[in-house]
A and B are shown apart, each in its own frame.
Chain A
Amino acid sequence: MMASLEVTYPWALLLVLLIPLVLVLRRRWREMLPFSRVESGFDALAPAGIARHYETLLFVAAYLCLVLSVADIGYARQEVEEFIESKWIFLTLDMSGSMKRPINRFSDQTLDDLALDGIESFIAIRGVEDYIGLVAFSSIPKLLAPLTFDHRLLRDKIELLRRKNHTPIYRQLTSGGGTNASEAVWLALSAFFSMLPEKNRLSLEEIAALRNFLLGASGGLLDVPEKLHQQDFGTGKAVILFTDGRIEPTLRAHKRKGKVPNLVNVIELMKTLGIRFYIISVGGEVDEAVVRAMEGVGRDVGRIFVTAKSLQQQTIHEVYQEIDNLESNRNLTRVTQVTRSTRPFFALAGWLLVLIHVLLRNLPRLRRL
Chain B
Amino acid sequence: MKPKYRFNLQLKYPPREEFSGDWSGLKKGVGYELWSLRPYESGDSFRHIDWKARARTGNLYVREFARDAAYTLLLICDISPSMRQGGKLEVQRNIAISMAHAAIQENNACGLLLYADGVEHYLSPSASPRQVQRIARQLATVRCGEVRRTRLRPALRFMQQKLPFCLGIILSDFQHNLDELQGVTEAAARQKIPAHELVAIQLLSGAEVNHQGFRGGQLCVEDVESGRQCCIDLNRWRDYDQLQQQHRQQVSQTLDRSGVSSLLIDVSAGDVQKKINNLFVRRVASRR
* B206 CB to nearest chain A CB (Å): 12
Q: Quick check: is B188 within 8 A (CB to CB) of the other chain?
A: no
Q: Are B243 and A51 in contact (CB under 8 A)?
A: no
Q: Are A46 and B243 in contact (CB under 8 A)?
A: no
Q: What separation, in Å, do the CA atoms of A36 and B87 have in the docked complex?
A: 12
Q: Are A43 and B230 in contact (CB under 8 A)?
A: yes
Q: Quick check: is A226 within 8 A (CB to CB) of the other chain?
A: no
Q: Are B175 and A51 in contact (CB under 8 A)?
A: no
A-B contact count (CB 8 A): 93
Q: Are A37 and B240 in contact (CB under 8 A)?
A: no
B236: chain A residues at CB < 8 Å are 45
Q: Quick check: is B285 within 8 A (CB to CB) of the other chain?
A: no
Stretch at the interface among A25-33, A59-67, A205-213, A239-247: A25-33
B207: chain A residues at CB < 8 Å are 35
Q: Are A34 and B224 in contact (CB under 8 A)?
A: yes
Q: What separation, in Å, do the CA atoms of A48 and B205 have in the docked complex?
A: 27
Which A residues from 2 to 53 make CB contacts under 8 A with B? Answer: 30-39, 41-48, 51-52
Q: Quick check: is B26 within 8 A (CB to CB) of the other chain?
A: no
Q: Quick check: is A365 within 8 A (CB to CB) of the other chain?
A: yes
Tell me the interface secondary structure of chain B in the complex: mixed
Q: Are B219 and A369 in contact (CB under 8 A)?
A: yes
Q: Quick check: is B180 within 8 A (CB to CB) of the other chain?
A: no
* B75 CB to nearest chain A CB (Å): 20
Q: Quick check: is B239 within 8 A (CB to CB) of the other chain?
A: yes
Q: What separation, in Å, do the CA atoms of A46 and B234 have in the docked complex?
A: 9
Given contacts A34-B85, A36-B86, contact A42 B232 (CB under 8 A): yes
Q: Are A369 and B218 in contact (CB under 8 A)?
A: yes
Given contacts A45-B243, A51-B233, A365-B235, contact A32 B228 (CB under 8 A): no
Q: Are B208 and A36 in contact (CB under 8 A)?
A: yes
Given contacts A44-B239, A51-B233, contact A36 B173 (CB under 8 A): yes
Q: Quick check: is B217 within 8 A (CB to CB) of the other chain?
A: yes
A34: chain B residues at CB < 8 Å are 85, 221-222, 224
A365: chain B residues at CB < 8 Å are 216-217, 235
Of all chain B residues, the one with the shortest Cβ separation from A42 is B230
- Beyond A36-B82, A36-B223, 10 additional contacts (C-beta under 8 Å) are A32-B229, A34-B221, A36-B88, A36-B175, A36-B205, A37-B82, A39-B247, A47-B233, A364-B217, A368-B220
Question: What is the interface of chain B, defined by CB distance below 8 A to chain A?
Answer: 82-83, 85-86, 88, 173, 175-176, 205, 207-208, 214, 216-224, 226, 228-236, 239-240, 243, 246-247
Question: What is the interface of chain A, defined by CB distance below 8 A to chain B?
Answer: 30-39, 41-48, 51-52, 364-369
